[in-house]
A and B are shown apart, each in its own frame.
Chain A
Amino acid sequence: MARIEVPMPQMGESIAEGTVSKWLKQVGDQVQRDEAILEISTDKVDAEIPSPSEGVLVEVLVQEGETVEVGTTVAYIDPEASPGDAASPPAQTQLEEPAPEAVPALEAAPALEAAPAPEVSSQPQPAQPAEAGPVGAEDPSGAGELDSEEAGTERERLRARSTPVVRKIAEEHGIDLSMVPGTGHLGRVTKGDIMSFIESEEATVPTPEAAPVTSPSVAAPPSTQPFAPPVTPAVAPSQAPSDLWKTFYSQVQHPEFPIREADRVEAMDKIRRLTAEHMVLAKRVSPHVHSFIEIDFTQIDNMRRVNKAKWAEQGAKVSFTAFVVWAVSRVLREFPVLNGTISGNNLIFRGNVNIGVAVDLDPGLIVPVIHDADELSLVGIGKRIIDLADRARSRRLNPEEIQGATFSITNPGVLGTMAGMPIIPKGTNGILGTGAIEKRVVVVEDPDTGTDLMAIRKRSIFTLGYDHRMVDGADAARFLARLKELMEGFPEDA
C-alpha cells in the first residue's frame, strides 16, 4: 500500500520544530489535498498543516502536545484506503468496537502497559459496563469505588461551562453538552468541538457508544481508556510486535480516575502535560540505577565567602549549583559514557557538554540548558544560571535554551531534602541530584598526628541516576569519585 508521509513542514528559517497542538482529522478520516489535518503551535503562532494528498489519514505518529523537529513524519495518508481504515496492519480486532471514528492505532498501546500488572490479572473483576463517551476510568485499586454518576456529574459541570455561543448551538441541535468531547480549557466545549460533533453525528452511522468490556475472564486493565481494546492474546497477533514496542516507547496515555464531589479538577497546562509524558517515557525506556556519594562543601563554602564581594563587582552571583555545574561539566569530559545515550542499536557520545539545570517554577518545572558548560568559567556559569533561571520564571526562554541537554542536574536540596532519586531525562544517560548542604559531624584524620578527630563540616549527598543500559555501575562509581575529588579540592582558578 502506497502511504504518503506527512512531514512537520518547514515553517520558517529560525523554526526548527513545532508542537502539535491539535489533530483536526482523526485516523480513518477522508482528507482532501491541502485540507488542514492538524494544527501546530510555536510562539504566538498557530498554523494549520495541510494534507499533501487526497486520501485517508491512516496513522498518526505524534500526539497533541508533542514537539517534533521539522521533517519528522507526523502522520501517513493512504490515497487508496477507504474512510474508516486505520494503519496497516489494521489494529482492529473482532473484540474492538467498530468505532466509526476509527481508533488510532496507538490506542492499542495500553495493552502493553497493562501487561506487567499481575495483581490485576490475578483478581479478575466482573465486566462492568463502561460509561458512554470518553469517560469510564476504573478504580485502579479494584475496590470498585467507581461512582459513574458522581463522575458524570462533575464532568457535566465542567463541560457545560461553555460559552453562550456553544450553549446556543447545543440547544438548537438538541445536543447534551456533556456528551461532546471538549478540547478547550478544563475540557470546555469550544465552538469547533461542537461543530465537529454535529458533523460527525450527521456523517456517521452508529455514534461511539460505550466500549463494551467483552471478556469477563480478562479484567479491564486499569490503564486502558475505554476505546482501547481489552487485553487478550487475540489482540497481539493482529499488530506487529515491533509496532507495539514502538508505541510503548513513544506514547503515553494517562488512565482516568473517578472525580469525587469535593474535588477540584484542572486541565493540565502545557508544561505539566509535557512533563507527565516525558517522565513516563523516560522511566519506561531507561533502566534507572542510582548511586550516592557524600561531598564535603566546606572548602567551596569558604571560597564563596572569600570571593563573594569580588564576584558581585563582576555582576555575578556564584551559587553552589554553579560550582556543581562547573565540576560536573569537567568530569563529564573525562567520562563520555555519561554524556551520551543509546539510540537504536548505537551508542551516541555527545561532542558537547550541555547541562540542563532544573528550575522550580512552582507550580511546574523547566530545565534550561547551559550549552558548552565545559567551556565556561565558574563565574560565567554563575551568571548564566541566574540569567536562565530568571527568564525561566518569567517564561522568557528561547526554545533553544531548553533543548539539547546532554546531562542534567536537579537540586532537591535547596528545599532541605536530604537526597533524591531523580528520573533521567529521555535521550541522556545521567542526572545528578544534589541534596541539602548541611553541617554534619564527621570523623577526620589529623594530618599531623594521624589521629581521628570529630569535625563539623558542610556536606551534601549527591545522587547519580544513570541509564544502566549504557553506564555500568563501576563507571558511575568512578564518575562520582572523581566528582568528589574535584569538588573537595576545588581549583582556585576555576
Chain B
Amino acid sequence: MPEDRLPALEVRKLGRVPYEKALDLQAELVSRRRNREIPDQLLLLEHPHVITRGTSSLESNLLLSEEELASRGIQLFEAGRGGDVTYHGPGQLVGYPVLSLAPDRKDLHRYLRDLEEVLILTLQAFGIQAAREEGLTGVWVPEGKLGAIGVRVSSGWITSHGFSLNVDTDLEFFSTTIVPCGIQGRPVASMTGVLGRPIRVGEVFDPLLIAFESVFSRSVCVV
C-alpha cells in the first residue's frame, strides 16, 4: 500500500503536562475521534510527579498516604484506566494513543501486545533487548520493567491512556512510593540505567514514531 494511503496518525509533542490536563485533553480527543472529526492521535508528553491508580489497584500497593505524597510534591489521581498503581514524572516518556481500533483491530489483547511491540522496537534502536513477560503486560529487561501499559477503550473502540517508558526517570520515586503495577519484588528500570549513559526523552521520539508507524500501519504526521 502506498504511504499516503495509510490512515494518518497525528502526533502531538506536548512537553510537560499536568496529569489532569492530559486527562481532559484525552477525553476531548476521544470524543472527537469517535465523531470522526480527527484522525488517530498520539500524545507524547511528560508529567510532573504523579501517582495514578488504575481500576485494579490494591490499596496496599501505595506505600505512602496522600498527605505524605503531597508533602513530597506528588499528586495522586484515579486514572480510569486498566492496571494497578504507577508513577509518572520527569524523564519518563508518556504516550497516549487515541486510536480507533475499529474495524480491523478490535482486540484488547492484541492492542496491548502491539503497544509492547512498539516499545520493544523503540528500545532496539538503542541497542536494548527488551522483551515481554508472560502474564505481565509491559516491557522488561533483566534489570526490571522499562515500559508500563494501562489502557482504556471507550465506546466505539476508541483508545486512551497508553504507555510510559522510563527514559531517564528518577527511579527512587518508584521504589519509595508504590509497588509498581502491583507486582512485588520486580524492580523498575530506566534506559539511562541500562545503558549507563544519560538518555534524553527527546532522543526517543523518532525511534518511537518509526516503530509506531510500522506496528500500527499508520502514516505519522507531527503537528
A interface list, Cβ under 8 A from B = 11-15, 21-22, 34-36, 39, 41-50, 161, 163-165, 184-186, 188, 190-192, 266-267, 269-270, 391, 394-398
B128-148 interface with A by 8 A CB criterion: 134-137
Write out the residue numbers on chain B whose beta carbons fall within 8 Å of the beta carbon of A11: 106-108, 153
Minimum distance in angstroms from B186 CB to a CB of chain A: 8
**CA of A161 to CA of B66 in the docked complex: distance in angstroms?**
9
- The interface stretch among B4-12, B75-83, B196-204 is B75-83
Which of B164-182 touch A at CB < 8 Å?
182
Q: List residues of chain B with CB within 8 A of the CB of A44.
A: 54, 82-83, 112, 137, 149-151
User: CA of A224 to CA of B81 in the docked complex: distance in angstroms?
Assistant: 33
Give B contacts to A, CB under 8 Å: 20, 53-60, 66, 75-78, 80-83, 106-112, 134-137, 149-156, 182-186
Q: Across the interface, do A48 and B110 meet the contact criterion of CB distance under 8 Å? A: no
Q: Would you call A394 and B153 a contact (CB within 8 A)? A: no
Give the shortest distance, in Å, between B219 (CB) and chain A (any CB).
Answer: 25
A43 touches B155 (CB 8 A): no
Q: Could you tell me the distance in whole angstroms from the C-beta of A148 to the nearest C-beta in chain B?
A: 27
Chain B proximity of A266: nearest CB distance (Å):
6
B109 engages A14 (CB within 8 Å):
yes
- Name, among B20, B134, B153, the residue most crowded by chain A CB atoms within 10 Å (CB to CB): B153
Decide: A47 near B184, CB < 8 A? Known: A190-B78, A267-B59.
no
Closest 9 CB pairs of A and B: A12-B107, A50-B155, A47-B153, A45-B82, A36-B155, A44-B137, A46-B82, A12-B108, A12-B109
- Given the known interface contacts A161-B66, A395-B183, the answer about A42 and B77 at a Cβ–Cβ threshold of 8 Å is no
In the complex, are the beta carbons of A45 and B59 less than 8 A apart?
no
Q: Is the CB of B182 within 8 A of A395?
A: yes
- Tell me if B's interface is mostly helix, strand, loop or mixed: mixed
- Cα A36 to Cα B158 in complex, Å, equals 12
The reply to whether B155 and A397 form a contact with Cβ atoms under 8 Å apart is no
Q: Which one of A12, A39, A185, A396 lies within 8 Å of B136 (CB-CB)?
A: A396
CA distance A192 to B20 in the complex (A): 13
Cα of A42 to Cα of B149 in the assembled complex, Å: 13
For the complex formed, measure the closest distance between the CB of B135 and the CB atoms of chain A, giving whole angstroms. 5
Q: Are A42 and B154 in contact (CB under 8 A)?
A: no
A46, A161, A192, A397: the one within 8 Å of B54 (CB): A46
The answer on a CB contact under 8 Å between B80 and A192 is yes
CB distance from A423 to the nearest CB of B (A): 24
On whether the beta carbons of A391 and B149 are closer than 8 Å, the reply is no
Whether B135 contacts A42 by the Cβ 8 Å rule is no
Using CB atoms, name the residue of chain B closest to A47: B153
A22 to B153, CA, bound (A): 14
User: Is B78's CB under 8 angstroms from A191's CB?
Assistant: yes
Query: Which residues of B are found within 8 Å of A191, using beta-carbon distances?
Result: 78
Would you call A185 and B53 a contact (CB within 8 A)? yes
Specify which chain B residues have a CB less than 8 angstroms from the CB of A42 in the assembled complex.
82, 108
Nearest chain A residue, comparing its CB with the CB of B182: A395
Chain A residue at minimal CB-CB distance from B110: A12
B144 smallest CB distance to A (angstroms): 14
Q: Are A13 and B59 in contact (CB under 8 A)?
A: no
Closest to B66 in A: A161
